[in-house]
Homo-oligomer: A and B are copies of this chain.
Protein backbone atom coordinates (compact mmCIF):
# COMPACT_ATOMS: atom_id res chain seq x y z
CA UNK A 1 0.00 0.00 0.00
CA UNK A 2 1.34 3.42 -0.91
CA UNK A 3 1.36 6.11 1.76
CA UNK A 4 -1.84 8.17 2.12
CA UNK A 5 -1.68 11.58 0.43
CA UNK A 6 -2.81 14.83 2.05
CA UNK A 7 -2.72 18.10 0.07
CA UNK A 8 -2.75 21.64 1.47
CA UNK A 9 -4.38 24.70 -0.08
CA UNK A 10 -4.29 27.75 2.20
CA UNK A 11 -3.83 31.50 2.39
CA UNK A 12 -1.22 31.17 5.17
CA UNK A 13 1.72 32.31 3.07
CA UNK A 14 5.12 30.76 3.64
CA UNK A 15 6.80 33.47 5.71
CA UNK A 16 6.22 31.99 9.13
CA UNK A 17 5.71 28.78 11.05
CA UNK A 18 2.02 28.17 10.23
CA UNK A 19 2.41 25.66 7.41
CA UNK A 20 5.26 23.85 9.16
CA UNK A 21 3.29 23.59 12.38
CA UNK A 22 0.27 22.18 10.56
CA UNK A 23 2.50 19.54 8.93
CA UNK A 24 3.93 18.64 12.31
CA UNK A 25 0.42 17.94 13.58
CA UNK A 26 -0.30 15.76 10.54
CA UNK A 27 2.90 13.73 10.91
CA UNK A 28 2.54 13.33 14.67
CA UNK A 29 -0.79 11.60 14.07
CA UNK A 30 0.26 9.71 10.96
CA UNK A 31 3.99 9.64 10.19
CA UNK A 32 3.36 7.61 7.01
CA UNK A 33 1.78 10.55 5.16
CA UNK A 34 2.88 12.02 1.86
CA UNK A 35 2.06 15.74 2.15
CA UNK A 36 1.74 17.91 -0.97
CA UNK A 37 1.47 21.71 -1.01
CA UNK A 38 -0.92 22.89 -3.68
CA UNK A 39 -0.40 26.52 -2.71
CA UNK A 40 -0.25 28.64 0.43
CA UNK A 41 -0.70 31.84 -1.54
CA UNK A 42 -4.44 31.95 -2.09
CA UNK A 43 -5.31 35.64 -1.85
CA UNK A 44 -5.94 36.21 1.88
CA UNK A 45 -9.61 35.55 2.85
CA UNK A 46 -10.53 35.12 -0.83
CA UNK A 47 -13.03 32.26 -1.14
CA UNK A 48 -13.35 32.51 -4.92
CA UNK A 49 -9.60 32.30 -5.40
CA UNK A 50 -9.47 29.32 -3.04
CA UNK A 51 -12.35 27.62 -4.83
CA UNK A 52 -10.71 28.09 -8.25
CA UNK A 53 -7.38 26.76 -6.98
CA UNK A 54 -8.61 23.51 -5.45
CA UNK A 55 -11.10 23.18 -8.32
CA UNK A 56 -8.28 23.24 -10.87
CA UNK A 57 -6.07 20.72 -9.05
CA UNK A 58 -7.99 18.04 -7.21
CA UNK A 59 -9.02 15.85 -10.15
CA UNK A 60 -5.37 15.17 -11.00
CA UNK A 61 -4.71 13.42 -7.68
CA UNK A 62 -5.10 9.69 -7.01
CA UNK A 63 -8.25 8.22 -5.46
CA UNK A 64 -8.43 8.58 -1.67
CA UNK A 65 -6.37 11.75 -1.62
CA UNK A 66 -7.40 14.00 1.27
CA UNK A 67 -7.42 17.74 0.45
CA UNK A 68 -7.20 20.26 3.30
CA UNK A 69 -8.46 23.66 2.13
CA UNK A 70 -8.12 26.50 4.61
CA UNK A 71 -9.27 29.91 3.49
CA UNK A 72 -11.16 30.84 6.58
CA UNK A 73 -12.10 34.44 7.36
CA UNK A 74 -14.61 33.12 9.91
CA UNK A 75 -12.12 31.07 11.93
CA UNK A 76 -13.18 30.81 15.55
CA UNK A 77 -16.83 31.71 14.87
CA UNK A 78 -19.82 29.37 14.54
CA UNK A 79 -19.05 28.41 10.94
CA UNK A 80 -18.77 24.64 10.78
CA UNK A 81 -15.73 22.47 9.93
CA UNK A 82 -16.58 20.03 7.15
CA UNK A 83 -15.44 16.63 5.96
CA UNK A 84 -16.58 16.06 2.37
CA UNK A 85 -16.49 12.87 0.33
CA UNK A 86 -16.69 13.69 -3.38
CA UNK A 87 -16.41 10.88 -5.86
CA UNK A 88 -13.31 9.05 -4.65
CA UNK A 89 -11.60 11.92 -2.84
CA UNK A 90 -11.88 13.70 0.52
CA UNK A 91 -11.92 17.37 1.48
CA UNK A 92 -11.53 19.00 4.89
CA UNK A 93 -12.46 22.68 4.94
CA UNK A 94 -14.54 25.35 6.66
CA UNK A 95 -18.21 25.65 5.65
CA UNK A 96 -17.92 28.91 3.76
CA UNK A 97 -18.23 27.93 0.11
CA UNK A 98 -14.53 27.42 -0.59
CA UNK A 99 -15.42 23.93 -1.93
CA UNK A 100 -18.16 25.25 -4.25
CA UNK A 101 -16.51 24.03 -7.46
CA UNK A 102 -16.07 20.56 -5.97
CA UNK A 103 -19.76 20.45 -4.98
CA UNK A 104 -20.79 21.53 -8.46
CA UNK A 105 -18.70 18.99 -10.35
CA UNK A 106 -19.22 16.04 -8.02
CA UNK A 107 -22.86 16.66 -7.16
CA UNK A 108 -23.88 13.12 -8.09
CA UNK A 109 -21.44 11.59 -5.68
CA UNK A 110 -21.20 13.87 -2.71
CA UNK A 111 -21.48 13.52 1.05
CA UNK A 112 -20.90 16.56 3.25
CA UNK A 113 -20.41 16.01 6.97
CA UNK A 114 -20.21 18.46 9.86
CA UNK A 115 -16.99 17.41 11.61
CA UNK A 116 -18.02 17.30 15.25
CA UNK A 117 -15.80 14.56 16.69
CA UNK A 118 -13.96 16.85 19.10
CA UNK A 119 -11.98 14.01 20.65
CA UNK A 120 -9.94 14.03 17.43
CA UNK A 121 -9.21 17.77 17.67
CA UNK A 122 -6.06 19.23 19.19
CA UNK A 123 -6.83 20.52 22.69
CA UNK A 124 -7.14 23.29 23.72
CA UNK A 125 -8.71 24.47 20.47
CA UNK A 126 -7.44 27.94 19.63
CA UNK A 127 -9.81 30.51 18.18
CA UNK A 128 -7.47 31.59 15.39
CA UNK A 129 -5.63 28.52 14.08
CA UNK A 130 -8.16 25.81 13.23
CA UNK A 131 -5.87 24.53 10.49
CA UNK A 132 -3.64 23.23 13.25
CA UNK A 133 -6.28 22.34 15.83
CA UNK A 134 -9.20 20.98 13.77
CA UNK A 135 -8.60 20.53 10.02
CA UNK A 136 -5.20 18.84 10.24
CA UNK A 137 -6.22 16.37 12.97
CA UNK A 138 -9.45 15.44 11.16
CA UNK A 139 -7.52 14.79 7.94
CA UNK A 140 -4.73 12.85 9.62
CA UNK A 141 -7.05 10.62 11.64
CA UNK A 142 -9.11 10.01 8.51
CA UNK A 143 -5.93 8.84 6.75
CA UNK A 144 -5.47 6.15 9.39
CA UNK A 145 -8.96 4.72 9.63
CA UNK A 146 -10.90 6.01 6.62
CA UNK A 147 -14.07 6.17 8.73
CA UNK A 148 -15.84 9.32 7.60
CA UNK A 149 -18.95 8.51 9.59
CA UNK A 150 -16.95 8.66 12.81
CA UNK A 151 -16.24 12.35 12.15
CA UNK A 152 -19.81 13.66 12.24
CA UNK A 153 -23.29 13.65 10.74
CA UNK A 154 -24.13 14.34 7.14
CA UNK A 155 -25.68 17.74 6.44
CA UNK A 156 -27.47 19.29 3.47
CA UNK A 157 -27.45 23.00 4.26
CA UNK A 158 -23.77 23.64 3.60
CA UNK A 159 -22.64 26.98 2.15
CA UNK A 160 -22.01 27.23 -1.58
CA UNK A 161 -21.77 29.86 -4.25
CA UNK A 162 -21.85 29.63 -8.01
CA UNK A 163 -19.12 31.00 -10.22
CA UNK A 164 -20.12 34.10 -12.12
CA UNK A 165 -21.32 32.85 -15.52
CA UNK A 166 -21.09 34.55 -18.87
CA UNK A 167 -24.47 36.17 -19.58
CA UNK A 168 -26.10 36.97 -22.90
CA UNK A 169 -26.21 40.61 -23.93
CA UNK A 170 -27.48 42.24 -27.09
CA UNK A 171 -24.75 41.24 -29.46
CA UNK A 172 -22.88 38.53 -27.60
CA UNK A 173 -21.81 37.55 -24.09
CA UNK A 174 -20.65 39.50 -21.07
CA UNK A 175 -18.11 37.83 -18.83
CA UNK A 176 -15.66 38.71 -16.11
CA UNK A 177 -11.99 38.29 -15.23
CA UNK A 178 -11.86 35.45 -12.69
CA UNK A 179 -8.19 35.64 -11.84
CA UNK A 180 -4.72 36.78 -12.87
CA UNK A 181 -2.10 34.01 -12.76
CA UNK A 182 1.53 34.21 -11.74
CA UNK A 183 2.66 35.07 -15.28
CA UNK A 184 0.09 37.88 -15.54
CA UNK A 185 -2.22 35.89 -17.80
CA UNK A 186 -5.85 37.01 -17.52
CA UNK A 187 -8.36 34.20 -16.96
CA UNK A 188 -11.95 34.96 -18.01
CA UNK A 189 -15.08 32.91 -17.25
CA UNK A 190 -15.70 32.10 -20.92
CA UNK A 191 -15.56 28.40 -21.83
CA UNK A 192 -14.81 26.85 -25.23
CA UNK A 193 -18.54 26.55 -25.98
CA UNK A 194 -18.97 30.32 -25.55
CA UNK A 195 -16.69 31.10 -28.50
CA UNK A 196 -18.48 32.43 -31.62
CA UNK A 197 -18.70 30.00 -34.54
CA UNK A 198 -16.21 32.03 -36.56
CA UNK A 199 -13.57 31.61 -33.86
CA UNK A 200 -14.22 27.87 -33.49
CA UNK A 201 -13.59 27.52 -37.22
CA UNK A 202 -10.17 29.07 -37.08
CA UNK A 203 -11.23 32.67 -37.60
CA UNK A 204 -10.51 35.48 -35.18
CA UNK A 205 -12.63 37.03 -32.46
CA UNK A 206 -13.39 40.45 -31.18
CA UNK A 207 -12.85 40.17 -27.44
CA UNK A 208 -13.09 43.45 -25.54
CA UNK A 209 -11.64 44.24 -22.12
CA UNK A 210 -11.30 47.82 -20.86
CA UNK A 211 -10.16 49.82 -23.91
CA UNK A 212 -8.51 46.84 -25.57
CA UNK A 213 -9.74 44.58 -28.37
CA UNK A 214 -8.14 41.16 -28.76
CA UNK A 215 -8.72 39.75 -32.24
CA UNK A 216 -6.25 36.86 -32.38
CA UNK A 217 -7.23 33.46 -31.01
CA UNK A 218 -4.13 31.24 -30.86
CA UNK A 219 -3.15 27.86 -29.50
CA UNK A 220 -0.34 28.95 -27.19
CA UNK A 221 1.63 31.95 -25.95
CA UNK A 222 4.47 31.58 -28.42
CA UNK A 223 2.08 32.28 -31.29
CA UNK A 224 1.83 35.90 -30.19
CA UNK A 225 4.09 38.65 -31.50
CA UNK A 226 6.00 40.89 -29.11
CA UNK A 227 3.63 43.07 -27.06
CA UNK A 228 0.57 41.67 -28.88
CA UNK A 229 -2.34 40.66 -26.61
CA UNK A 230 -3.67 37.26 -27.65
CA UNK A 231 -6.49 34.97 -26.54
CA UNK A 232 -6.18 31.20 -26.06
CA UNK A 233 -7.97 28.39 -24.26
CA UNK A 234 -6.07 27.94 -20.98
CA UNK A 235 -5.18 24.64 -19.36
CA UNK A 236 -8.07 24.94 -16.86
CA UNK A 237 -10.64 25.21 -19.67
CA UNK A 238 -11.24 28.96 -19.58
CA UNK A 239 -10.50 31.55 -22.26
CA UNK A 240 -7.43 33.54 -21.27
CA UNK A 241 -5.71 36.70 -22.47
CA UNK A 242 -1.92 36.79 -22.48
CA UNK A 243 1.12 38.38 -24.10
CA UNK A 244 4.05 36.24 -25.24
CA UNK A 245 6.82 36.39 -22.58
CA UNK A 246 5.18 39.34 -20.86
CA UNK A 247 2.77 40.18 -18.06
CA UNK A 248 -0.53 40.92 -19.80
CA UNK A 249 -2.43 42.05 -16.70
CA UNK A 250 0.18 44.67 -15.98
CA UNK A 251 0.64 45.81 -19.58
CA UNK A 252 -3.12 46.12 -20.17
CA UNK A 253 -3.88 47.30 -16.60
CA UNK A 254 -6.54 44.66 -16.03
CA UNK A 255 -7.51 43.33 -12.60
CA UNK A 256 -9.79 40.59 -11.35
CA UNK A 257 -13.43 41.50 -11.72
CA UNK A 258 -12.99 43.49 -14.92
CA UNK A 259 -15.79 43.10 -17.46
CA UNK A 260 -15.04 41.21 -20.68
CA UNK A 261 -17.27 41.29 -23.77
CA UNK A 262 -17.30 38.52 -26.36
CA UNK A 263 -19.38 39.63 -29.38
CA UNK A 264 -21.12 37.05 -31.55
CA UNK A 265 -18.84 37.90 -34.43
> Residues of A with Cβ closer than 8 Å to B?
2-3, 5, 7, 9, 12-21, 23-25, 27-28, 31-32, 34-41, 44-45, 52-54, 56-58, 60-62, 65, 73-77, 126-129, 132, 179, 181-183, 219-223, 232-236, 244-245
CA–CA, A7 and B19, complex, Å: 12
With a cutoff of 8 Å between Cβ atoms, the chain B residues found around residue A75 in the complex are 220-222
Q: Which of B34, B39, B44, B220 contacts A17 (CB 8 A)?
A: B39
Interchain nearest-CB distance for A38 vs B (Å): 3
A1, closest chain B residue (CB): B31
With a cutoff of 8 Å between Cβ atoms, the chain B residues found around residue A28 in the complex are 60-62
CA–CA, A71 and B45, complex, Å: 31
CA–CA, A26 and B123, complex, Å: 34
CA–CA, A138 and B24, complex, Å: 21
Are A31 and B16 touching (Cβ within 8 A)?
no
Are A15 and B181 touching (Cβ within 8 A)?
yes
Once A15-B41, A20-B9 are accepted as A-B contacts, the answer to whether A27 and B35 lie under 8 Å apart by CB is no
